[in-house]
Chains A and B, each alone.
With several copies, the nearest count.
Chain A
């Protein structure tokens, strides 16, 4: 149905270049998530695809036909807005049929489509209500329904769940995933939320300042971030970073040294990894081996120990006041002031060179 190609796509607002040039290929039926810090251009990119924002340079092709000069309504894409943008004065039914009436679709066909969409999204019983009379999740569903009735080739979502509370987010996240499985359309989804990106995407696109930093499957990005930015951005809580240098031990082991800390042998290293002056070691909170024995790794002092019930997060500090966050499954027994010893687990560590690029193990 719909492949989408962005080719050297650029966007400037006045003299400010927001998107300096993006190349991206999205295959038919893929669920692609755009993530990136606030202001990095995610929405702009999405709105350019939708046709709500003009293109400064480059090309957007849907099914290999350029659409940069096609009006928004005729591109065959549908957008679900962050604030839903439901017409507050229309009933749900009218919201769903407004777009179809605008193209003078026959009444029976409109009704068929509206009821199909309503059934799919289980909002049949709300059809005569106004958006105000719906809960957040129901509104979200109506917004999606409005997109569905138009039978678009591509769905665009701009942070569709950010206005919902935590519980509802979990539910809607799963519903959208299921919807994607059922409809099989191409979907592009912008979010700030780590979990959404990780759990929903076929492919995550990480953006920074309008530039694509890495594209890949979620676990791929999680396990093999291409650079420091992606490593720090993907995963919540964040990966711990410790700056230091690499050296070879007497035994040929590769050792990581940081100021004031005993050198730590890195497990499972690639022998080709040479000594380096300035590297950053990255270890995710769950990737530490914790022990109470002296000598088993770096000593850390527990600050706040947060007990979530199912798991615990220990906010610790390494010598030199470097904060380290440690995840412990289950209910931790550690208390403020305890000293633990930590070392990276197996191959679960990452190294980045002075430019922030990942160094192969």
Chain B
């Protein structure tokens, strides 16, 4: 390795360190995106770009083929719009609930209580389960003859066929994704909480601050940078939600829980023949939406902190 340094000179050593990772990024992350862009403007179910024919914006036109943009039923690709709509409802709700719950949990775990390590483990445990396992497990619990209905029957409640109704299915979609991922954010928030100096709280105590006021006036503002990271990560992850819901509901009932990524997967992968072009077009639109969101988010957060 010293040989390398002598060869390229110390000035170029950072590139030597960067190249392996950068190569992998270019090859397995950025190149696929560019291939996707090409897919979106070409037709046929052929995998290799050189086998495909250019068709221009036809795929985009198909996606936007609607008679009334306010009513997805009138769109040729109504599922694209429904999935988009669902994503736009799912993401804010799921992220809000997730961050809310994770924050409360982190606050509890940050207290000086017995069994902190144990509880921390409990809340983190689901993060370790694979999405497929999580979904199968909950499907098995929530199905008509599942454990939850058994439990409800046992305590005298009428069993509910949870996954049959759009609203309850949506509720459980949010619940399960929160259940599975909140541990991750809890730990990050916990780390953020622990980074807040203790003496600031003591000062607040001397300053007669009630617990609520120390939370809103001290904890929240000081946690803001971490919350921002958590927020962005949670949004990205939430938009990417796929495996759990695919196994749990397949996007149903109807298309009530079908999110964008599932739509893309079904169009581009699970169908026969595979419509890579349409899937790529949809994914690029999704990417565009994410990009705009991130940009706005950055702008807001930069505007919010003036130091």
Which A residues are within 8 Å of any B CB, using their own CB?
Answer: 50-52, 71-74, 77-79, 81-83, 85-90, 98-99, 102-103, 130, 132-133, 146, 150
Contacts and interface: CB of A to CB of B under 8 A. Distances in A.
Contacts of A87: 200, 203-204, 217-218
Given A52-B202, A52-B206, 11 more contacts: A51-B205, A52-B205, A72-B202, A72-B205, A77-B206, A79-B202, A87-B203, A87-B218, A90-B221, A98-B209, A102-B208
A63 B197 CA distance: 33
A81 B222 CA distance: 19
Contacts of B209: 73, 98-99, 102
Contacts of A52: 202, 205-206
Interface string B198-226: 01101111111110010001100110100
A79 B203 contact: yes
B307 interface: yes
A79 B206 contact: yes
Q: Which of A50, A82, A83, A102 has the most CB of B within 10 A?
A: A102
B208 A89 contact: no
Given A85-B197, A89-B221, A89-B222, A73 B203 contact: no
Contacts of A99: 206-209
A103 B202 CA distance: 16
B240 to A, nearest CB: 32
Contacts of B202: 52, 72, 79, 81, 85
Contacts of B206: 50-52, 72-73, 77-79, 99
B112 to A, nearest CB: 13
Given A85-B197, A102-B209, A133 B203 contact: no
Nearest to B217: A98
Contacts of A71: 205
Given A85-B199, A85-B200, A87-B203, A103 B208 contact: yes
A73 B205 contact: yes
Pairs of residues from A and B, 9 with the lowest C-beta to C-beta distance, nearest first: A99-B207, A73-B208, A85-B199, A85-B203, A89-B221, A102-B208, A81-B199, A102-B209, A72-B205
29 contacts: A50-B206, A52-B206, A73-B205, A73-B208, A78-B206, A83-B197, A83-B199, A86-B200, A86-B203, A87-B200, A87-B203, A87-B217, A87-B218, A88-B222, A89-B221, A89-B222, A90-B221, A98-B207, A98-B209, A98-B217, A99-B207, A99-B208, A99-B209, A102-B209, A102-B213, A103-B208, A130-B307, A132-B307, A146-B203
B302 to A, nearest CB: 16
Contacts of B213: 102
